[in-house]
Structure 1
Amino acid sequence: MYEQPQLKEMYITDLTLSMTNPRFPREVKSEAEAILTFFQLKKVGPGKIMSLIEDIVETGIVLENFIVLKKDGEFIVHDGNRRLTALKLLYNNTSEIIKNDYPKVYENLKIMKENFDVRKLKLNVQVYTDSNSMANHVAKLHSGEQNGKGQINWDSNEKDTFNSQHLNQPLGLGNLIYKKLEKTAEKRELYNKLQKGSFATTLNRIFGYSNIRKRIFQLDRGLKVDLTDSVHFNKICEMIEFFISKNATVADVYTAEMASNFFEEIKPISQGNPEGKEIEGNPEGKEIEGNPEGKEIEG
Structure 2
Amino acid sequence: MSFRSLALSLLVVNSANDRHGELENETAAIGWLFNNRENHMRNLAKDLVAQGGIYDPPLVAPEGNKYVVFDGNRRVTCLKLLANPKRAPTIELQRFFAELREKWSGVFPERITCQVENDRDRIDEILYRRHTGTQNGVGQSTWDDRMKANFVARTGKASGLHVADEVERRLAEARVWDRRRKIPRSNMNRLLSSEAYRNRLGFSLARGQFEYTHEKDAVLKALLRVAEDLSSRKIVLGDIWDVAGKRSYLDQLDREGLLPTAAQLKAKETSSAVNVKQQSVSPPTKPTPLPRPDPRTTLIPDYLTYAVTWAGEQQRLKAIWEELQFQLKLSEHPNAVAVMFRVLVELAIENYVVKTQLTSIYEGDNLSNRAVKVAADLYSKKKIDKKYHDECKRLQNGDQLFSVATMNRWVHSPRFNPSPQHMTAMWDSLSDFIVLCINA
Is 1:107 the counterpart of 2:103? The answer is no
Alignment of structure 1 residues 187-226 onto 2, 5 Å: 189-194=320-325
Question: What is the CA deviation profile of residues 29-58 of structure 1, one whole-angstrom value per residue up to 9, with x for unaligned ones?
Answer: 1222111100122xxx22211111111112
Cα contact 2:8–2:80 (8 A) shared by 1: yes
Residue matched to 2:178 = none
* Structure with bigger RCO (C-alpha 8 Å, 6+ apart): 1
Deviation at 1:144, TM superposition (A): 2.8
Residue matched to 1:296 = none
Residue matched to 1:246 = none
Amino acid at match of 2:26: E
Residue matched to 1:124 = 113
Q: CA, structure 1 residues 266+138, in 2 after alignment: closer, same or farther (shift >3 Å)?
A: farther
Q: CA, structure 1 residues 146+172, in 2 after alignment: closer, same or farther (shift >3 Å)?
A: farther
SS at match of 2:38: helix
Is 1:57 the counterpart of 2:49? The answer is yes
Q: Aligned equivalents of 1:28 and 1:71: distance in 2?
A: 17
Residue matched to 1:69 = 61
SS at match of 2:49: helix
Q: CA, structure 1 residues 161+152, in 2 after alignment: closer, same or farther (shift >3 Å)?
A: farther
Residue matched to 1:258 = none
SS at match of 1:139: helix
SS at match of 1:75: strand
Residue matched to 1:219 = none
Question: What is the CA deviation profile of residues 231-284 of structure 1, one whole-angstrom value per residue up to 9, with x for unaligned ones?
Answer: 89xxxxxxxxxxxxxxxxxxxxxxxxxxxxxxxx999979xxx799xxxxxxxx
Residue matched to 1:149 = 138
Question: What is the CA deviation profile of residues 65-99 of structure 1, one whole-angstrom value per residue up to 9, with x for unaligned ones?
Answer: 11011123330000000111111211224444222
Q: Aligned equivalents of 2:115 and 2:2: distance in 1?
A: 5
Q: Give the TM-score of the pair, scaled to structure 2.
A: 0.38
SS at match of 1:28: coil
Residue matched to 1:39 = 34
SS at match of 1:113: helix
Deviation at 1:63, TM superposition (A): 0.8
Q: Aligned equivalents of 2:315 and 2:69: distance in 1?
A: 51
Residue matched to 1:138 = 127
Is 1:6 the counterpart of 2:22? The answer is no
Q: Aligned equivalents of 1:40 and 1:81: distance in 2?
A: 15
SS at match of 2:62: strand
Deviation at 1:18, TM superposition (A): 0.6
In the comparison of the two structures, how many residue pairs are matched? 200
Cα contact 2:12–2:69 (8 A) shared by 1: yes
Question: What is the CA deviation profile of residues 87-120 of structure 1, one whole-angstrom value per residue up to 9, with x for unaligned ones?
Answer: 1211224444222xxx1x4322222223448863
Contiguous gaps of at least 5 residues in structure 2? 157-185, 197-304, 329-382, 393-420, 432-440
Q: CA, structure 1 residues 186+92, in 2 after alignment: closer, same or farther (shift >3 Å)?
A: closer
Cα contact 2:132–2:139 (8 A) shared by 1: yes
Q: CA, structure 1 residues 74+188, in 2 after alignment: closer, same or farther (shift >3 Å)?
A: closer
Residue matched to 2:192 = 169
Q: Aligned equivalents of 2:45 and 2:52: distance in 1?
A: 10
Q: Aligned equivalents of 1:35 and 1:61: distance in 2?
A: 19
Amino acid at match of 1:36: G
SS at match of 1:97: coil
Q: 1:18 aligns with which of 10, 14, 36?
A: 14
Cα contact 1:65–1:126 (8 A) shared by 2: yes
Cα contact 2:6–2:114 (8 A) shared by 1: yes
Cα contact 1:38–1:82 (8 A) shared by 2: yes
Q: Aligned equivalents of 1:147 and 1:37: distance in 2?
A: 32
Q: CA, structure 1 residues 107+151, in 2 after alignment: closer, same or farther (shift >3 Å)?
A: same
Q: CA, structure 1 residues 14+118, in 2 after alignment: closer, same or farther (shift >3 Å)?
A: farther
Q: Aligned equivalents of 1:188 and 1:84: distance in 2?
A: 42
Alignment of structure 1 residues 268-279 onto 2, 5 Å: none
Q: Give the TM-score of the pair, scaled to structure 1.
A: 0.54
Contiguous gaps of at least 5 residues in structure 1? 198-226, 233-264, 277-299
Question: What is the CA deviation profile of residues 1-38 of structure 1, one whole-angstrom value per residue up to 9, with x for unaligned ones?
Answer: xxxx22101121110011111111x4211222111100
Deviation at 1:175, TM superposition (A): 6.0
Q: Aligned equivalents of 1:36 and 1:142: distance in 2?
A: 22
Cα contact 1:71–1:129 (8 A) shared by 2: no
